[in-house]
Amino acid sequence: MAAKAVKTIGILTSGGDAPGMNAAIRSVVRTAIHNGLQVKGVMRGYAGLLEEEIVDMNTTSVSDIISRGGTVLYTARCREFTTPEGQQKGAEICRQHGIDGMVIIGGDGSFKGAGKLSGLGINTIGVPGTIDLDIACTDYTIGFDTSINTAMQAIDKIRDTSTSHERCSIIEVMGRRAGYIALWCGVANGAEEILLPERYDGDEQAIINRIIESRKRGKKHYIIINAEGIGHSSSMAKRIEAATGIETRATILGHMQRGGSPTCKDRYYASIMGARAVELLLAGKSNRLVAYKHGEFVDYDIKEALAMTKDIPEDQFRIADMLVR
């Protein structure tokens, strides 16, 4: 079948923002213009699409953004777009603006929307953008690298003061359903405990016992990396302090992990993925997700990608568990 010619593409960012999204936007815009396409920026994700917040973009619209965190297109969550009526309206607005191809940068929720747009005749390609690394079809998501480096630096600082005061510190990192940030930082920061939503059995008494043991061995601090999906860090700190007699503080790193200037890796991978998305549209493809798998940039059918599952690799968890002891 001959490739359907795409003349005007839209681009939006959706769901939680992630450092590197701007690099992807820049790459999409510049690749499209290089190939003679028009580009329209859709502001505020699907919400902005339904409100027709659509602006023309050119090469200079994306000047000086590659080093900036956040997304210059802004992002939002939009309930209306989860309804068939909202999706029809979105596809119709695309047509009215001459948009025949869309690049959607976001996570699994955003890709469900992308699949719907594709089914309604708008050629749509997804690019994985989330700090959580929780998109099954890809080993890399835009923002994860910056996020873990931001969290790692913050945890190093907390460790200094924790040691000086001979305290126990619980540091809560982001990841509501996925523990990748906690796993990577737990290992990279040399933590004493790594609590992952996928693995934590809730045995707080075992943690308390290990804290008491380590204090007996002369350890000056005890760093617990707790994932947001487990949460309750403040109440956990109170219980641990009461049970061990060791001063215990909780720090929730929060949204600082989603901001800041992207790392080189996030800028580079986001740039490649943005360009690949446009190239897929130019090749007449739709309903695909750009991914990075086994060392290569690839793409998957959205429905197949969303049906994939992913878990913390067992061997990495085993090694992390060994290193904390």
**Residue nearest to ligand F6P according to CB distances in the complex:** 16
Burial class of residue 241, CB neighbours in 10 A (0-12, 13-18, 19+):
middle
270, interface contact from ligand ADP, ligand F6P, none, CB < 5-8 Å by kind: none
Stretch that binds ligand ADP, among 10-18, 176-184, 229-237, 279-287 (CB under 6 A): 10-18
78, interface contact from ligand ADP, ligand F6P, none, CB < 5-8 Å by kind: ligand ADP
193-208 per-residue burial string, b: 16 or more CB within 10 A, e: under 16: bbbbbbbbeeeeeebb
Q: Report whether 290 contacts 125 (CB < 8 A).
A: yes
**Closer CB to ligand ADP, residue 85 or residue 314?**
85
Question: How many residues bind to ligand ADP according to rule CB under 6 A?
Answer: 17
What region does 41 belong to: left with phi over 0, alpha with psi -120 to 50, or beta?
A: beta
**Residue nearest to ligand ADP according to CB distances in the complex:** 109
* Catalytic residue set: 132
CA angle 320, 323, 325 (to 5 degrees): 115
Tokens for 162, please give them: 């924790």
Burial class of residue 68, CB neighbours in 10 A (0-12, 13-18, 19+):
middle
Stretch that binds ligand ADP, among 60-68, 74-82, 93-101, 280-288 (CB under 6 A): 74-82
Site for ligand ADP in 97-156 (CB under 6 A): 106-110, 112-113, 116, 130
Site for ligand F6P in 121-150 (CB under 6 A): 130-132
Site membership for ligand ADP, residue 180 (CB under 6 A): no
Stretch that binds ligand F6P, among 58-66, 93-101, 168-176, 281-289 (CB under 6 A): 168-176
Q: Is the dihedral of CA 176, 83, 104, 76 positive or negative?
A: negative
Give the type of residue at 293: K
Site membership for ligand F6P, residue 40 (CB under 6 A): no
- Residue 179's nearest CA partner among 204, 148, 155 is 148
Q: Which of 6, 9, 14, 167 binds ligand ADP (CB under 6 A)?
A: 14
Note the residues at the interface with ligand ADP (CB under 6 A): 14-16, 46, 77-78, 81-82, 106-110, 112-113, 116, 130
Q: Which parts of this chain interact with ligand F6P (CB under 6 A)?
A: 16, 130-132, 174-176, 228, 258
